[in-house]
């Protein structure tokens, strides 16, 4: 019986700019890493619009880790500029590596490359956010030199018992809004 072909070393992964053809693999990996039931309180949701809109508006800060032709990790970032300020911020929105690969330094290499891109684009600071319970992400970012942790309160309200919700629930389907044209936060529009 032939032996299974050994998987290439994670060190041989190529960190490169995401291409259009990578979108299905990145989306599937994001679905695996960021399911709504595991991270229900994230203020950003992983969906096809999040990825497609970000890729269309900020492709230079969309990276993948390619291991022997397979996408095994990704980083999505954006540049933010505050009006009336000389400061420009790199904002790392999403960073994920396939757990089947293990802890082999791919996330660190993705972070290193997106940091280089942010610097080339004039960023003076990098911002990230993660769930307070995500100890692995917190440890990773602390290892990358993040030290100033600012608490952020995220509030949610379940509408399933609201009288208006109950009235609409049994009526015609709600009108769906088109997705936003940018994945950037409203408070700090960036270049585009």
* 101-150 pLDDT, tens digit each: 877 899 999 999 999 999 999 999 999 988 888 888 999 999 999 988 88
CA angle at 68 for the pair 63 and 73, rounded to the nearest 5°: 30
Non-local (6+) Cβ contacts of 149 within 8 A are: none
Query: What is the DSSP secondary-structure string of 116-179?
Result: HHHHHTT-SEEEE---TT-HHHHHHHHHTT--------------TTSHHHHHHHTSSPPPPPPP
Q: Residue 59: its pLDDT value, please?
A: 93
Structure-block tokens of residue 154: 């995220």
Cα 10 to chain centroid distance, Å, stands at 21
CB-CB contact of 185 with 57 (8 Å): no
* pLDDT tens per residue, range 138-162: 999 999 999 888 877 766 677 877 8
Q: Specify the CATH number for 10-169; select among 3.40.640.10, 2.60.34.10, 3.10.450.50, 3.40.630.30.
A: 3.40.630.30
Both tokens of 25, joined, read 């693999």
CB-based contact 64:26 (threshold 8 Å) = yes
d(CA 165, CA 186): 26
Q: What is the pLDDT of residues 32-85, one digit of tens each?
A: 988 877 766 565 678 888 899 999 999 999 999 999 999 999 999 999 988 888
CB 65 within 8 A of CB 8: no
List b or e across 56-65, with b for residues whose CB sees 16 or more CB atoms inside 10 angstroms: ebbeebbbbb
pTM, full prediction: 0.76
Residues 6+ apart with CB under 8 A from 37: none
**∠ Cα 139 140 142 (to 5°):** 65
Six-digit token pair at 174? Answer: 């709600």
Least confident stretch, 13-17, 86-90, 171-175: 171-175
Q: Element (H or E) spanning 66, and its range?
A: strand 62-67
Write down the domain spans for the chain. Answer: 10-169
What was the pLDDT predicted at 166? 78
């Amino acid at each position: 019986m032939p032996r299974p072909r050994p998987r290439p070393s994670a060190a041989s992964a190529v960190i490169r700019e995401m291409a259009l053809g990578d979108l299905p693999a990145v989306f599937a990996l994001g679905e695996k890493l960021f399911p709504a039931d595991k991270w229900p309180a994230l203020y950003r949701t992983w969906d096809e619009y999040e990825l497609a809109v970000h890729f269309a508006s900020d492709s230079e800060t969309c990276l993948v880790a390619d291991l022997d032709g397979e996408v095994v990790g990704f980083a999505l970032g954006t540049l933010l500029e505050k009006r009336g300020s000389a400061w420009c911020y790199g904002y790392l929105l999403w960073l994920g590596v396939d757990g089947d690969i293990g802890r082999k330094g791919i996330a660190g290499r993705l972070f290193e490359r997106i940091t280089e891109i942010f610097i080339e684009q004039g960023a003076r600071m990098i911002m990230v956010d993660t769930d307070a319970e995500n100890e692995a992400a917190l440890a990773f970012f602390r290892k990358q030199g993040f030290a100033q942790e600012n608490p952020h309160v995220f509030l949610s309200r379940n509408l399933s018992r609201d009288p208006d919700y109950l009235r609409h629930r049994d009526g015609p389907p709600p009108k769906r809004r088109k997705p936003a044209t940018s994945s950037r936060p409203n408070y700090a529009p960036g270049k585009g």
